[in-house]
Amino acid sequence: MRITQPWQELKTQEALLRDQVNGLTPSQKKRYFAEQTRQLKDPDTYAVLNWAFLGGFHHLYLRKYRLFIVECTLLVIAIIGLVMSQPYFALILVGLVLFELPQLFLAQKIARQYNYHVSRSIYEHVRHGD
């Protein structure tokens, strides 16, 4: 996933995938949509998690466990450092904010990209009979 991917490119990829899914047999479509319903994530939920919680909890929602652990650890370290009156730990907070701002404003796009990749994977599995 690229945060810089143009919206139009993502929409074109989604449309192409929809056309490919329409070419599946009825039983394949049934499997595809059942699995898709189970695995897709709601972009609004991702956006709310991104807006409402510090520490990268929105990464858990998209199964980005390593990124969550890194962000949460850095946040805890920064808070502990600031409580211990070490002002340079504020730089960690500034870094986290600068890292999170683009994700905050592009939350809908990030969730749609995730859903596209999941849907593409499901399509490939269904099409090849895995």
CA atoms within 13 A on the CB side of 126: 24
Summarised one tens digit per residue, pLDDT across range 87-104 is 889 999 999 989 888 888
Q: pTM for this structure?
A: 0.85
Residue 16 lies in a domain: no
Residue 20 lies in a domain: no
Residue 95 lies in a domain: yes
Residue 60 lies in a domain: yes
Read out DSSP for 62-88? TT-HHHHHHHHHHHHHHHHHHHTT-GG
Q: What's the domain range around 101?
A: 25-128
Summarised one tens digit per residue, pLDDT across range 64-91 is 999 999 999 999 999 999 999 998 899 9
Phi-psi region of 85 (alpha: psi -120 to 50; beta: other; left: phi over 0): left
